[in-house]
A = this chain, B = another copy of it.
Amino acid sequence: MHTESADPADLVRPLLRVRQVREFTDEPVDRAALDALADAGRWSGSSKNNQPWRFVVITDRGTIRRLADGGMPFTRALQTATAAIAITIPEQPGRKISHAYDEGRAAERILVAASFLGLGAGIAWLSGDGRAAAGAILGLPEDRFVRTIVAIGHPTEAARRPKSDRGEARLPREETVFAERWPTS
């Protein structure tokens, strides 16, 4: 897949282009694309390969809108999404940190995969009441909850454009990447 002469910066550029999308057109997402996104999620790494997540792939727009209603404003991406993947996690008080970490890994894989497919995706983050409402809507058992729902769809033209000015979307490299040890000031 890679050649010795390829510039590493070029090879990782598709990853740097992944961005959160929160506004989608009405065009539905193909079933094959949703299967590929779910596969990207379930092939994520996890602590001791324990695979804590179970994914619910949702295409019913009524369900997606009800999920959006329960968690505004952090579920805004679900208002126009034509598909969604809920990442459900077991309720295990001793594993909260590990599960949040694995959940983040799976969410990131799905965002990256969506970008590779030319789709847009954005994380809807549920807290408190939104989480309980979503659990009821999806029929989750008591030992499982949902906090991340990845909103998926075809991005609008506006959503395809960068939201920040050039150089503004992230802190500069010299403030975030250090060599060998923490810098002494």
Which residues in B have their C-beta under 8 angstroms from that of A173?
38-39, 42
Complex CA gap A37/B16 in Å reads 10
Complex CA gap A63/B66 in Å reads 52
Instruction: Kindly supply a per-residue 1/0 record for chain A positions 34-68, scoring 1 wherever the CB is within 8 Å of any chain B CB and 0 otherwise.
Output: 01111111111101010101111111100100000
Closest Cβ–Cβ distance, residue A170 to chain B (whole Å): 6
Q: How many residues of A contact B (CB 8 A)?
A: 78
Copies of this protein, total: 2
Question: In the complex, which of the residues B117, B176, B181 contacts A11, with contact meaning CB atoms closer than 8 Å?
Answer: B117
- List chain A positions with a Cβ less than 8 A from chain B: 1-2, 7-9, 11-12, 14-16, 18-20, 30, 32-33, 35-45, 47, 49, 51, 53-60, 63, 88, 96-98, 100-105, 107-109, 111-113, 116-118, 123, 125, 137-141, 144, 169-171, 173, 176-182, 184
